[in-house]
Structure 1
């Protein structure tokens, strides 16, 4: 079920309604509600195929871990509400999302080291959360990793767009 909430937008001429419903996880920074693919604004999570190293140098699928933990987090307080920011080049709905208890999903991913602050898009909105996760060696910060945008570029043999 999708419930449309009040209009949210950076520019009123392109206003889109917020989306509220049961979210399913596509990957660590993308969810879907009632068939609408939603990219979480301002954060970048490791890709599902991406490998990271933990504090002992052991490799693990950090993208899979991010997606799994995002799913567990969203299941704990439903429904999810996503407030429109923009449409990206793939026409995905880009949003700041919140659980039913009001906790911001985007920020929580960065706070727990499951995603990085993508300052190119966030304007540094999650920089403090990232600094705390790094200082506490949470998630990807517990070892070595490649920024997701760099990993995607390397895999496609293109220049990074970070």
Structure 2
């Protein structure tokens, strides 16, 4: 049976503020893991998407977070096998100047989706509480693989460690046509996050 908080609902916002404030100031010398345990003791277990990944496909109209992350029906989805520019990343154009490639990646994903419903097929894993999935939208000639389309746009990259090279062809085509950031200079998103080996094959 799921463990639930015994704290009355009207007290929970105040308790949350207290826990956040104490955590911010490092009160009692508790580690981040200990603070998470304290929060769970007060507020109960985390949402379902943080405890276990869904196993069956799910669909809905999404809220796009960035170039490889979205919320679909209350489930935070991390698109499988790709890595898009981080929200704060800047890239250089071939002719000079810079552009916000992280914001461009988010806009590209939102544009690919439009007003359509997204269908996501999870691979059964979680990363940082996010359900890892391949997502698609209906297209004129069949479903459009959003993961592949983002790599093809030149604003996301194949991540062989998790894709096994599934999007290598899309990346090669984007590079050859100087699509997106391939037209200038950029830092790979995993390097931007100081995780240089994040996408290297296992």
Indicate the TM-score class for this superposition, using the shorter chain for normalisation.
0.7 to 0.9
Contact 2:78 2:127 (C-alpha < 8 Å) held by counterparts:
no
Larger Rg: 2
1:96 aligned partner:
134
CA separation in 1, counterparts of 2:169 and 2:117? 27
Q: Does 1:60 align with 2:99?
A: yes
Query: What is the TM-score normalised by the length of structure 2?
Result: 0.68
Residue 161 of structure 1 corresponds to 198
SS in 2 for 1:97: strand
The residue aligned with 1:41 is 80
TM-score, reference length from structure 1: 0.84
The equivalent of 1:112 in structure 2 is: 153
Residue 118 of structure 1: how far off its partner (Å): 0.7
Larger relative helix fraction? 2
Unaligned regions of 5+ residues in structure 1, if any?
1-13
Tell me, yes or no, if the aligned pair for 2:69 and 2:78 is still in contact at 8 Å. Answer: yes
Structure 1, 137-146 or 51-60: larger mean CA deviation: 51-60
Q: CA deviation at 1:58?
A: 1.2
SS state of the match for residue 127, structure 2?
Answer: coil
Q: Which fold has the larger relative contact order, with Cα–Cα distance below 8 Å and residues 6 or more apart in sequence? A: 1
Counterpart of 1:127 (choices 143, 168, 191) is 168
CA separation in 2, counterparts of 1:88 and 1:141? 30
| Conserved 8 A contact 2:59-2:118 | yes
Structure 1 residue 91: deviation in Å?
Answer: 2.4
Distance 2:54 2:130 in 1: 14
Alpha-carbon offset, residue 159 of structure 1:
5.6
Higher mean displacement: 131-140 or 85-94: 85-94
1:136-151 equivalences in 2 (<5 Å) = 136-151=177-192
What is the number of residues matched between the two proteins? Answer: 144
Say if 1:86 and 1:57 are closer, same or farther in 2 by CA, change over 3 A. farther
